Structure 1
């Protein structure tokens, strides 16, 4: 036995010595000589992705119902969109739609907030409601087990149709919101979004990005109830179901719990048209002692139903849609100016925005602005190389395909179709429409929506540190953190002409 062990040790030691005597070149072949057999094959074709279609039902009271059957898991998702949101706020009371949505679950005619929370917990269900500033609808979403669908829908209908807006819960909410307003004013990202929205939208309600202390002071149960009664109506809503539920079951639940919901003429506010884009401007929001600048630049885009939305979405992916896009690769990977740089396109029933954003240290704010403008000009002036364009389009469709397994995502996609009036085959041909976008279309779309002559550039930072760098890029306006102008405009050549 000892001889066998000794022989084995000699063999091991001999092997180790032989390995140690190999040259580095022999031990590690050059990367170009290595043949990797375990790589996933790359498919250069753009995926074909289609969504399952929902069934649509209309109740006598005008409520539209969408039902998407997916029986893989014993769960359901329910979504209710009210076609009135922050854009329906009275001018003298910004935030009313948000107050109303936030307070829905704080009590009804027969349940307290504690009872609602307890029942949701016992059902293993979720509930959230919100009316986002700058948006045109209120969303109410819930999920739970399909075996509890009846109990869940009874609870949701009570929350949505019979809110009591209790005085004590509203008072607590107002205190929290007032404290939140103070925190918002210390957030450079919010200050940039607020100034940008005001620059782009002017007097249009989407310019408003938060409530005010005065508005919160006016919040009463009567004010919330008045907004609720005027806007939460079945003929002003879309109700969607997705998951382990049949069309018959969903329709029966909708009739049982929402069938008595009485329709009323919609009193949603009709905002005035958006003014044409103004000339290029640069806005500096002074944030003393800030060690970095928050940069946001862009302008008006388009409505969600506009046929150019898909080409613009491709432009966005090439420019700054993810961490492999131009802005990120330039400002972070190559220059090291920032942790991230991105762009985004938004679209609603009204024109949204197309904008890019980043954050940079004071010392490199000038460089970051220069590279941002360089990338804006490059995507306008140069055709996107074919390989880069194909990568961007594959990325869009692949990301979309990964979401299709989620019933809530699919339901949300069809809710968009109904709400924005998109064609019924929109998602059937979505991947084909992405594939059709060529380099000429990208450049033509970029020239239209990356509009340097009307570019609104916002920088939030320490004016003493970055004012000189920022002033190079156009007519400068300086504001404090409360949104008040602190000095007259400084005329400089337009951003688009630099």
Structure 2
């Protein structure tokens, strides 16, 4: 095992893979996932963007830890955006053709071309664009790949990476937190946590031994839009890896004793979260930002009142209705040509049976609430510091504003040398951590300002943040800030495609989110082509400080009330309400 662990680490570079000893997805980490997935975010993503990265989900070493799955998809690699992350619902995709596909061919399982993406307004695609200092920013060349739509509705993705002798498999199913039934918030995460606690062929110990015998770790994550399982092994173990992942994903047994144990662990974790103000703030942002009736409007780990009701029948029913081939995607990355990888995937899929072929009713992603400004203070007794979030509606990943939004948000608060970092941390010393980010999911998003400060300076922090963000909404980034943001994002993007895990997730997301492969293939040139006018328009439309924003404070209730009472209506609630 040690030899294979060393091979994996060397192949992916330092820090690209988690400790292979962390192969137990039943134990919830602070990030809500186990395993490495390529995507937007360096390190692990906080749930609401608290102290987190910008729309580009770039390196944010300053932020406090929070469970990513409470807000959106966590990611372990630097990548292009916050979606979605991404950063946490599946509408049946069979009803709409994938970009560039032939609807007639889909019924017969033919390969489809997904390279076309929605064009950005006013932008013509090209092989490169001028970067900072007049240099040309070249786009990234994707490796050989093939995409096929199977008669079952399953999408197959095969990518050839010959540089390292590794095989990676990723299964994404439309079983994200948005699919949680009413009154059962957290059931998607709960079900995913139980997948490796026993299958129809072996018990939990047997599953652990199966995974460990390949010298790897099984990644299981739940985002707003999907549940995903991943494995990376040496190339000679590709068949074993595929069989193991499909068994865990499609044949769980949900033993009664494991369900009871998982319920106790989840309840204990939800209670312990109350001791971490950043985790409470993360849960509040998701709940208030999207609204209680929106499919995204609850933490992925649920609420204590709902988790207490979870039984084996709940997990069985959720798995049977959501883990189906229609709308799912199986991605394989290896050294073999894409045609051979597709044949391998089809051969192993022929040995398993999907739990359900039923078509689910589409979720209602209605417009997010746009009320007047208000503040909610979650009272944590004896707090000497206050966590602050300022939240407004954002955009989904497929929005035409995507590229300008990524750029302007990086200049506002997404980079370490950004407007808000300078104003709040450098110039005034009000906080060690400050950021803005766009939390972009498949169907909606949020625009979030995050920081914290001592009680005595809470009002000053709020005033400075609102003043700077409102001014920025009028002017957009300066010429220098615009150039820096474009250069930074274009330079960081290739890092999100370096490993097999990162590449599989990025390409899978581009397909499932309806972006097309051009989203990746022309990402750098489109970033470099964002104009000052486009960035200013995005800054105005997506400012966290615009009308309808909500201010979230986690800390002493009376301190929060006094600091905010003459800004907007203030409601103080006990912190236990968010457990």
Q: Under TM normalisation by the shorter chain, which class is it?
A: 0.7 to 0.9
Post-superposition shift, 1:153? 1.0
Question: Which residue of 1 is the match for residue 124 of structure 2?
Answer: none
Stretches of structure 2 that go unaligned for 5 or more consecutive residues are 1-131
Counterpart check, 1:62 vs 2:153: yes
CA–CA distance in structure 1, aligned partners of residues 424 and 140 of structure 2: 36
Instruction: Check 1:245–1:361 CA distance in 2 against 1; reply closer, same or farther (3 A cut).
Output: farther
Question: Which residue of 1 is the match for residue 551 of structure 2?
Answer: 457
Post-superposition shift, 1:306? 0.9
Counterpart check, 1:184 vs 2:276: no
| Helix, strand or coil at the partner of 1:175 | helix
Counterpart check, 1:375 vs 2:468: yes
CA–CA distance in structure 2, aligned partners of residues 281 and 325 of structure 1: 27
CA–CA distance in structure 1, aligned partners of residues 289 and 141 of structure 2: 35
From 216, 239, 243, give the equivalent of 1:154: 243
Stretches of structure 1 that go unaligned for 5 or more consecutive residues are 1-41, 485-498
Instruction: Check 1:307–1:70 CA distance in 2 against 1; reply closer, same or farther (3 A cut).
Output: same
CA–CA distance in structure 1, aligned partners of residues 415 and 480 of structure 2: 17
Post-superposition shift, 1:403? 2.7
Counterpart check, 1:407 vs 2:500: yes
Alignment of 1:12-51 (within 5 A): 44-45=134-135, 47-51=137-141
Instruction: Check 1:354–1:307 CA distance in 2 against 1; reply closer, same or farther (3 A cut).
Output: same
CA–CA distance in structure 1, aligned partners of residues 308 and 507 of structure 2: 38
Instruction: Check 1:455–1:214 CA distance in 2 against 1; reply closer, same or farther (3 A cut).
Output: closer
CA–CA distance in structure 2, aligned partners of residues 372 and 382 of structure 1: 15
Counterpart check, 1:169 vs 2:262: no
**Which has the higher Rg, Structure 1 or Structure 2?**
1
Instruction: Check 1:174–1:145 CA distance in 2 against 1; reply closer, same or farther (3 A cut).
Output: same
Relative CO higher for 1 or 2, CA cutoff 8 Å, sep ≥ 6? 2
Alignment of 1:47-196 (within 5 A): 47-52=137-142, 54-132=145-223, 135-196=224-285
Question: Which residue of 2 is the match for residue 285 of structure 1?
Answer: 378
| Helix, strand or coil at the partner of 2:326 | helix
CA–CA distance in structure 2, aligned partners of residues 199 and 50 of structure 1: 38
CA–CA distance in structure 2, aligned partners of residues 257 and 365 of structure 1: 57
Q: TM-score, normalised by structure 1?
A: 0.84
Counterpart check, 1:342 vs 2:432: no
Post-superposition shift, 1:271? 3.1
CA–CA distance in structure 2, aligned partners of residues 49 and 282 of structure 1: 44
From 454, 457, 478, give the equivalent of 1:361: 454
CA–CA distance in structure 2, aligned partners of residues 98 and 438 of structure 1: 41
Counterpart check, 1:436 vs 2:529: yes
Stretches (4+) displaced over 4 A:
none
CA–CA distance in structure 2, aligned partners of residues 45 and 78 of structure 1: 37
Question: Which residue of 2 is the match for residue 205 of structure 1?
Answer: 295
Counterpart check, 1:325 vs 2:418: yes
Post-superposition shift, 1:57? 2.0
Instruction: Check 1:62–1:207 CA distance in 2 against 1; reply closer, same or farther (3 A cut).
Output: closer
Post-superposition shift, 1:112? 1.4
Deviations 1:351-375 (A, max 9, x none): 1101110010112112211221122
Between Structure 1 and Structure 2, which shows a larger proportion of helix residues?
1
Deviations 1:175-206 (A, max 9, x none): 11111111122221222233333332222131
CA–CA distance in structure 1, aligned partners of residues 158 and 435 of structure 2: 36
From 457, 470, 475, give the equivalent of 2:569: 475
Post-superposition shift, 1:269? 5.7
CA–CA distance in structure 1, aligned partners of residues 336 and 441 of structure 2: 30
CA–CA distance in structure 1, aligned partners of residues 288 and 565 of structure 2: 17
Post-superposition shift, 1:292? 0.6
Post-superposition shift, 1:383? 4.1
Counterpart check, 1:397 vs 2:487: no
Instruction: Check 1:102–1:245 CA distance in 2 against 1; reply closer, same or farther (3 A cut).
Output: farther
Post-superposition shift, 1:321? 0.8
| Helix, strand or coil at the partner of 1:205 | coil
From 341, 364, 367, give the equivalent of 1:274: 367
Question: Which residue of 2 is the match for residue 261 of structure 1?
Answer: 353
Deviations 1:135-161 (A, max 9, x none): 121111111111100111111111111
Residue-pair matches, total:
441
CA–CA distance in structure 2, aligned partners of residues 408 and 43 of structure 1: 33
Post-superposition shift, 1:44? 5.0
Instruction: Check 1:456–1:114 CA distance in 2 against 1; reply closer, same or farther (3 A cut).
Output: same
